[in-house]
Structure 1
């Protein structure tokens, strides 16, 4: 089995708001990966005393433990338990009902000798390669399907779209959001390799159009996850006129977990 994990901040002077981990049980059978992308809030109150890195480190740590230690618990239930645990750790000091309480996107995958389970919530991506080389993109596309004009102001997004029916969902303080995630189970025999990426890394496809998902996957296999992030950084710097980035931040935290099962 081969695994590779890279997680780099968009700005080296600021904390990384991503989280990435791989858990391999002591039994030597199976494993799990966790990738979170913390949501950077706009300027203003969030109702919370804690930072996004604080939140993602606790949620990610809980998910890493639970996905490995409770192999018979579905991933959606593991996410719900992890959210409840994280919320309990700061409910006494923070207003967890605030729309900008710390939150994150989620990708989970867990494999055994029989099956590969997956969960995707919001705009990070899980790529699944079959033994024959065919690639499947597993994503939660609710945010990308929203009209661009509806995303122009933070106030409108918070009031009508963020964690709202008809909008999009992120992992914040409500454990029931786990039921909104895209989930499924694949036969272990149909999966050769997994790659989970935050949107700072998927810019290679989604912003800069260096290739399609198969091209990206091939790049990571041949050159490595670190090379993908390095190439994204080069493209970000080169886009002086913002022909590709538009109003997006110049550099974003970027994480990649690659696992050949």
Structure 2
């Protein structure tokens, strides 16, 4: 992946009219012109019960996403794990006095974080958002944190059960909430920049096209975004959701429509 002229596309759409978009997405290019980054967060929709926090999920994702963007662009000496840890700590400090950050449903989000330079593409994925890396030969490697997907369905039967036994707990799954140490749980890696032709980051509202509706594989998903644009993927997901009258794909969908975000970068 070069550091010169690049195609970058960001689409983020709420799950329905009148609902706030709890996702966050941005692409950053350092003032020096050397390299760049992307940040994608999927805010976890809270239950109707108490969360211990005065703030909304969009407030949290904006704070965390802003901190991640600033640190990733400006602190190239830090690893992505260190950046996520510092961004979580900074966000927690912003509401620690007013809110109970020990509550299992304190605002939280999934994370995809990518930083590229002339030599390397570094990545970090935490929870169930997806990063796709396309090589020069057109093959696509999905970077997944699949801990949530591997849990037995019975273990996810109720919010109370998940919060008590699985959420941000060993043997369960992890999200970016108020504990900076969760950064060590993320899936991380790096590949030579010249081996990456394009990449895409998707929240699970967009990755449904592959994971829930099985309309294609990850390579086909990325090709669709390149050819028709990020909005086309989101539009196709919405059509599939609307057509799912018999709820054939409902199993595994916590809501009919979800916020859907796609970030695509191509050199």
TM range (shorter): over 0.9
How many Å separate the matches in 2 of 1:167 and 1:203?
A: 22
Deviations along 1:175-228, whole A, 9 cap, x unmatched?
000000000111111111110000000000111111111111110010000111
Which stretch of structure 1 is more off in the superposition, 204-213 or 238-247?
238-247
Q: 1:27-83: per-residue Cα shift (whole Å, max 9, x none)? A: 111000000000001110000000000000000011011100011210010000100
In the alignment, does 2:99 pair up with 1:94? yes
- Residue 234 (structure 1) aligns with: 239
Q: Secondary structure at the match of 1:143?
A: coil
Q: Does 1:70 align with 2:75?
A: yes
Q: Distance in 2 between matches of 1:77 and 1:195?
A: 23
Q: Does 1:15 align with 2:58?
A: no
Aligned residue pairs total 261
> Corresponding residue for 2:3?
none
* Shift in Å, 1:147: 0.6
Cα offset for 1:12?
2.0
Structural mapping, 1:34-53, within 5 Å: 34-53=39-58
1:257 and 2:263 matched? yes
User: After the TM superposition, which segments of 4 or more aligned residues of structure 1 sit over 3 Å from their partners?
Assistant: none
Aligned residue among 151, 154, 157 for 1:152:
157
Q: Whole-Å Cα distance in 1 between the matches of residues 135 and 34 of structure 2? A: 20
Residue 26 of structure 1 corresponds to which residue in structure 2? 31
1:180 equivalenced with 2:154 (yes/no):
no
The runs of 5 or more residues in structure 2 that have no matched partner are 1-5
C-alpha offsets along residues 116-151 of structure 1, whole Å, 9 cap, x if unaligned? Answer: 000000000000001111110001000001111100
Q: Could you say which residue in structure 1 is the equivalent of 2:224?
A: 219
Report what 1:163 is aligned to: 168
- Secondary structure of the 1:256 match is strand
Distance across 2 between alignment mates of 1:146 and 1:254: 23
SS of the counterpart of 2:262?
strand
Q: TM-score under structure 2 normalisation?
A: 0.96
Deviation at 1:24, TM superposition (A): 0.5
Supply the RMSD in Å over aligned alpha carbons: 0.8
2:194 to 179, 182, 189: 189
TM-score by length of 1: 0.99
The alpha carbon displacement at 1:241 in A equals 1.2
* Whole-angstrom CA distance in 2 between matches of 1:249 and 1:153: 14
Alignment partner of 1:123: what SS? coil
Question: What is the alpha-carbon distance in structure 2 between the residues aligned to residue 72 and residue 195 of structure 1?
Answer: 24
